[in-house]
Every structure is written in structure tokens, then in C-alpha cells.
Amino acid sequence: SLLITPPFTQLNTAYPATAYIKGFLDSKGVNTHQMDLSIELFTAVFTRDFIDAIFKQAALLNHEEYPLVWKQREAYIDKVDTVMNYLRVQEITAAYQIIHKDFLPHGHRKIKLDQDLSKEFGKLGILDKAKHIATLFVEELGDFINANVDEFFSFTRYAESIARAASSFDRLEEFLQYETTLIEDEMIYILDQHLQNHEYDLICFTVPFPGNLFSALRCAQFVKQEYPHIKIAMGGGYPNTELRRLSDPRIFKYVDFISLDDGEAPLLRITEYVAGKIGVEELERTYVEIDNKVSYINKLPNTIFHHKNLPAPSYVGLPHQKYLSFLDVMNPMHRMWSDGRWNKLTISHGCYWKQCSFCDVTLDYIGHYENTTADNLVDKIEKIIAETGVTGFHFVDEAAPPKMLRALANALIERKVYITWWTNIRFEKTFNAELCALLSASGCIAVTGGLEVASDRLLAKMKKGVDIGQVARVTKAFSNENIMVHAYLMYGFPTETDQETIDALEVVRQLFASQCIQSAFWHQFACTAHSPVGKNPEAFEIKITGPTFEGFAENDLYHEDPTGAKHHLYSEGLNDALNNYLNQKGFEIPLQDYFTFKIPKHQHPKDLIKKILLVPL
């Protein structure tokens, strides 16, 4: 079997789905290879020869958007290999070359940076400065490709717009009949080269996000045409959340199996079926096409592989030398997603809280909670370090349990396993000064967690299980141990008023000013079909207005919030304020100055957070 991550996902580190499945199938004696087609394609595109072809194609089409890039095309062609080599290995002598004011062309992003350089870069060292300038160079080329040669191209997604809210398969089907683009031709060439050198009876695509679906289907379309004997399976985050009511059989022109939820048991059964060992009725949690109709085959009871008994992910066969470190934004936490190499590992399966009303708690990957032991985790950590040579770990839990984190930290310290790690948590009061100090000693450098709307009324309505006071004390306990804290923020939750939005912004301002949090990001509330809000909109006083389900995907729902504020109006002001706070400035600017319309005065005392912090956890 061949396990493929289709373009595009993270470029700095391997998306872990194929590694998890490979580790499992290897332990069951199934011969597997894995391929990160995402990084393979990206690094093939950003080469001298391919960028030369991009400019030639733009000339043929007579497309010259981003004229600064077009005018300096020779410099982009000549310098792209140097820039990509630097983004792979940040070498100090190359950094000096890249930061020279005239080494790289001055495109539309670089010119803006030249104006901001002293302001943004006062504290950055030479390696980071070069990394940021190199990132802008590649992004300028990406802008040019997207505008002139392939409208689907984007750094960490491909053709996302046609897969997002695709309640009907019509649009995907239409675009799959179009001629392939230059980028798609290269993707198919890379895949074909691999298939010519290996014999497979099954190819499995993991589709974690909408921005991976179209490229997976393009590859599947090619395999069906050129290698019709190979069966094709698809699984991952996108099918698990979006295809739970699939009834349109047209997707089965491209794939033979679509599995739901954890992939281990379904894929093991699919490999047995393809090998002729079992009949179709023995499949588990898998869609197939029978008599031109979609059939969901789920033999019960399911084969259960408990989280604690699963083997370590296997990163064997992934091109570790090709991953790139980008520095695109100054947000310190966002940087960790795109910069540096991180092995991804799960401490626990699912979420131990599983109550938040905006979350997909009805789905297996959140609602089904399983744990393991600290020694089992450290064994896996040691195996992964031996395979990858990387000692950075991102524990990708929905919410890492405090008890497990304590046990893990103690085991790492006792066994003298030295790693750097970060994870997502709930701001539980368990995270006191003593526990935060232990986590820091074991290598924890950052945590992320949901503050959401910083309003006690709305936190209760969300069933978040925390309040503002608890969040302030817990985040301060982490920050006091030099563990960076990133808060997920939300605006536009059902019934949220103008007053609550502004009060929440004031809480965020004070949390930054008191050094409780160092990073944050605002998300506008999205209603999904699998969340308590989506399942019971009347209880949250909203009305679902669409989209009409037409047999394919169902996840994001459109909704009206008649009693709430006009939430979209707040987006720009909230982000402008946050941008200042991230850079430790603008705390004295009145909140009204961030908005172009009249806002209510916030109702919190100016020293709300300071007073809260005087009371210990």
C-alpha cells in the first residue's frame, strides 16, 4: 500500500496521518510506503527551471499581474534555489547574503517590509531577518503564480474554495474535467515517477482539510486512467467531518473506498479485502459504491485498537531534508506552526472535556476519549527521535489532560529524555505554579488554549468550564515559567452583544498588559453541523439558513443571529487592536480608536486582571 499526503499541508514538518497509519499497518505485517506529495510538489515548483516555466506560461497567457515580480523575473529565476536552500537550512553565511539590501528583488511584499524594517525587526537576529526576507521572496512568487498561472495555488492549501461548503459534487466534477494546470502536471509527474518504480495494489489518500481534496481527486483521476488495477482509498479529517451523509455516487469514479473516523481498523480491513481475504460485507466504517449507489459498510462489533496499544507513528520514508522553515508573521505562536521541525504525536485520543457547544463533540475524534501511560509515550518519543533526528514535539491533542502531562513530564525527567514540546490545553485550575514549573523543566515551551469570548455569561453558555478569573491565573502561572501562552479568541458567538464584544476586547488588552498571554488570534464563530449549536440552533437563539444538502459534503452552516451584534463589523478593529498588543504596544489607545463606528464603553474596571491575579489559584 502507498499512503499519500496530497498538496498542500504544512511545509515545515510532516503531517502525521500517514505516519500513524504506516506505524500501525507495519505492526500488522502489511507492507506500506508513505509519500508526502505536498512537500515534494512544493519543492519541485520553487526551483530555477520551474519558475522559469511559470514566467514563460504567464507570457503565453499575456498575464502580468504583480508587475514588480514580472519586471524582475530574471532575479527571481536566478535566486530561487539559493532562497529555498536557506529556508531548508538556516546557515549564517547565507543569511548575510540574503539580508544584503539588493541581493533579492524588491517585490510588492519586500518593499512594504523595507518601510517597516526598523519597527518590526528591532529585536530579531540575523538568521530570523534573513528567514523573513526569504519567506517574502517565496510568497511574492506564490502571489504571481496564483494571479497569473494557477488560481488554485496557495501555500498550505490547493483549490480550497471549491471544496469548502461543497454540499453538491457538481463544482468539483466540473473542475475535474478541465485541463490540468502547470502545477497539477508537475504533481502528477512526481506521482507517476514513484508509481513506475514500485508495485502497489492500494493507494490511500489522507485528506485532512478542504484544501487537500481537489489535489487528491486529481491524483486519483490520473491513477484510474493510467493504473486502473490499483484500488484507491480516502480518509482523514475532511471525510470524517464533511462526508457523513454522503449519498452522491459520482466521487466513486475517482476512489473505491472512503473511510470514516480512526483509520486503523477500516484500512486494515480494506487491505484484506483488496488482497481477497475477506468479502465486502466485512469492511468497517467504509463507503463503497454498489449498483451505482453509495453503501456504508460497517461490520459490528467494530475491531477496537485502543489508543494505549497502538504502535508509534513511523516517519520512515518521508523526505526530512526537504521541509522548510518559514517566518511569515511576527505573531510568536503562529510562528511555531510554520517555523522549525516538530514531530507530531497524540497524548490522548479525543477530548476529556467534550462539552463545548461550538465544537464537533458528537464526532469520534473528539467524543471518544482514550488515554495511555507516560512510559508508553516516552517509548514512542524515543523511537520517533531515532527515526527523524528531531527533538521538537507538538502534541496535537484536542486538550491535553493535566494528569497525563504531569506523568509525562516526570517520565521525561526521570529517563533523561531531552525534548522541546508544546500542546493545546484547557485553562484548568490544576495548572498551578508547581505543575507549570515541572512542565517547563521537562521541555514545555508553549501552550495554546481557548479563551473564546472573554465573557463569563458566554463562557457558561458555551459550557467552556472556565471563567475569566481562572484563565487569568492559569495563563499567568504558565507565563511566570517562561512558557508562552497563545489564546484562541472568538467573536460572534450566538446572542453576543456589542457590549460583550468590547468588554471581551478589554479583557484581552489587560491579559496582554499583565503578561498573562503573549499571543492570540480572533476567529469569527462558525456554526457546524456536528456541534451542539448546529444540532440545536433554537437553544442558542439562531436560525440555520443553509446550505441545502445535495448529497456530498455537510459541515459549515450559514446562520442568522437576530439578537446578537452585527459581528462582521468588528473583525478589522479587533485584529488591529490585537496586532498592537502582540507587539506589546497600544495598551493606552482608547478602544474606540480601533473602530470606524461608535462602540459602547467597556464596563470592566481598568485593573480587573491585576486584582484577579492577587488571588492565588
DSSP output for 189-218: HHHHHHHHHS--SEEEEE--SHHHHHHHHH
CB under 8 Å to 104, separation ≥6 — which residues? 75, 79, 83, 98, 110, 133, 134, 137
Place 465 in a pLDDT band, splitting at 50, 70 and 90.
very high
Mean pLDDT computed over 387-411: 96
Mean pLDDT computed over 260-287: 97
The alpha carbon of residue 294 and the mean position of all alpha carbons in its chain are separated, in whole angstroms, by 30
Biggest CA pair distance of the chain: 70
The per-residue pLDDT for range 375-384, each reduced to its tens digit, is 999 999 999 9
Query: Which pLDDT score is estimated for 332?
Result: 73
The alpha carbon of residue 592 and the mean position of all alpha carbons in its chain are separated, in whole angstroms, by 33
> For the chain, give me the number of helices (H) and strands (E)?
25, 18
Query: Which pLDDT score is estimated for 137?
Result: 97
CA distance 328 to 307: 36
Query: Which pLDDT score is estimated for 125?
Result: 84
Q: Which helix (H) or strand (E) holds 434?
A: helix 433-441
User: Is 121's pLDDT higher than 60?
Assistant: no
- Dihedrals φ, ψ of 525, to 5°? -50, 135
CA distance 214 to 207: 9
- Look up cell 462602540; give the residue: 599
Q: 525-564: b or e for each residue (b if 16 or more CB lie within 10 Å)?
A: bbbbbbbbbbeebeebebeeeeeeeebbbbbbbebebeeb
Q: What is the rounded average pLDDT for all residues in the chain?
A: 94
Query: Which pLDDT score is estimated for 117?
Result: 55
Query: Which pLDDT score is estimated for 144?
Result: 98
The per-residue pLDDT for range 550-592, each reduced to its tens digit, is 999 999 999 999 999 999 999 999 999 999 999 889 999 999 9
Give the three-state DSSP class for 73.
helix
User: Is 118's pLDDT higher than 80?
Assistant: no
User: Is 250's pLDDT higher than 80?
Assistant: yes
CA distance 540 to 528: 13
CA distance 541 to 544: 10
* The pairing of beta strand 286-290 with beta strand 257-259: antiparallel
User: Is 183's pLDDT higher than 90?
Assistant: yes
CB atoms within 10 A of CB 610: 13
Q: Does domain 2-38+159-305 have CATH number 3.40.50.2300?
A: yes
Q: Which helix (H) or strand (E) holds 477?
A: helix 468-480
Query: Which pLDDT score is estimated for 337?
Result: 79
User: Is 12's pLDDT higher than 60?
Assistant: yes
CA distance 269 to 263: 10
User: Is 435's pLDDT higher than 90?
Assistant: yes
Mean pLDDT computed over 290-295: 97
Of 45, 2, 235, nearest to 155 by C-alpha is: 45
Mean pLDDT computed over 66-79: 97
Query: Which pLDDT score is estimated for 344?
Result: 94
Query: Which pLDDT score is estimated for 119?
Result: 52
Mean pLDDT computed over 145-166: 92
* All structural domains of the chain with their residue ranges: 2-38+159-305, 64-148, 330-613
Cell of 104: 533579492
DSSP output for 398-424: SS--HHHHHHHHHHHHHTT---EEEEE
User: Is 122's pLDDT higher than 60?
Assistant: no
What's at 424, amino acid-wise? N
Cell of 25: 499497518
Query: Which pLDDT score is estimated for 112?
Result: 81
User: Is 116's pLDDT higher than 70?
Assistant: no
CA distance 209 to 498: 33
Of 255, 275, 269, 449, nearest to 356 by C-alpha is: 449
Query: Which pLDDT score is estimated for 115?
Result: 61
Query: Which pLDDT score is estimated for 101?
Result: 87
CA distance 237 to 15: 12
Give the three-state DSSP class for 238.
helix
CB under 8 Å to 424, separation ≥6 — which residues? 395, 396, 397, 398, 399, 400, 447, 448, 449
CB under 8 Å to 203, separation ≥6 — which residues? 1, 2, 4, 220, 223, 230, 231, 232, 233
CA distance 313 to 24: 7
CB under 8 Å to 331, separation ≥6 — which residues? 519, 521, 582
User: Is 416's pLDDT higher than 70?
Assistant: yes
User: Domain 330-613 maps to which CATH number in 3.90.76.10, 3.30.559.10, 3.40.309.10, 3.20.20.70?
Assistant: 3.20.20.70
**Which residues pair with residue 344 across a beta bridge?**
394
Mean pLDDT computed over 444-454: 95
User: Is 120's pLDDT higher than 80?
Assistant: no
Alpha-carbon torsion (267, 270, 276, 280), positive or negative: positive
The per-residue pLDDT for range 306-355, each reduced to its tens digit, is 988 899 999 999 999 999 999 887 677 778 878 888 999 999 999 999 99
Helices of type H across 198-311: 210-226, 237-242, 264-274
CA distance 274 to 485: 47
Mean pLDDT computed over 250-275: 97
Look at the chain and count its residues.
617
Place 35 in a pLDDT band, splitting at 50, 70 and 90.
very high
